[in-house]
Amino acid sequence: MPEPGSKSYDIHRARRRKEKEKTGEADRKQANEEAKRDMEQDPKWRPSGPHSDRGRGPKSERPGSH
């Protein structure tokens, strides 16, 4: 599944942004924010979180480590 910052995620977001700009729904900055918000709501493009224990942060600060 594509993650924010990946090439496929960025390409898809750019396409959505351009689509919104062409239809006149929004200017460039607003269209970019709307495209990002739309993708965050779509389960296919939503970030899945850390992939390992190390990605969850320092062991002493992880939830449930106390």
Residue 15 pLDDT? 92
DSSP letter at 26 equals S
Residue 25 pLDDT? 74
Q: What are the residue boundaries of the structural domains of the chain, listed by start?
A: 1-39
When pLDDT is cut at 50, 70 and 90, the band that residue 1 belongs to is low
The answer to whether residue 65 scores a pLDDT higher than 70 is: no
E strand residue ranges, the chain: none
Question: 32: Cβ–Cβ under 8 A, 6 or more apart, which residues?
Answer: 13, 17
pLDDT 10s digits, 9-58:
889 899 989 998 888 877 888 888 888 888 888 888 776 666 677 777 78
Cα 21 from Cα 32, distance rounded (Å): 9
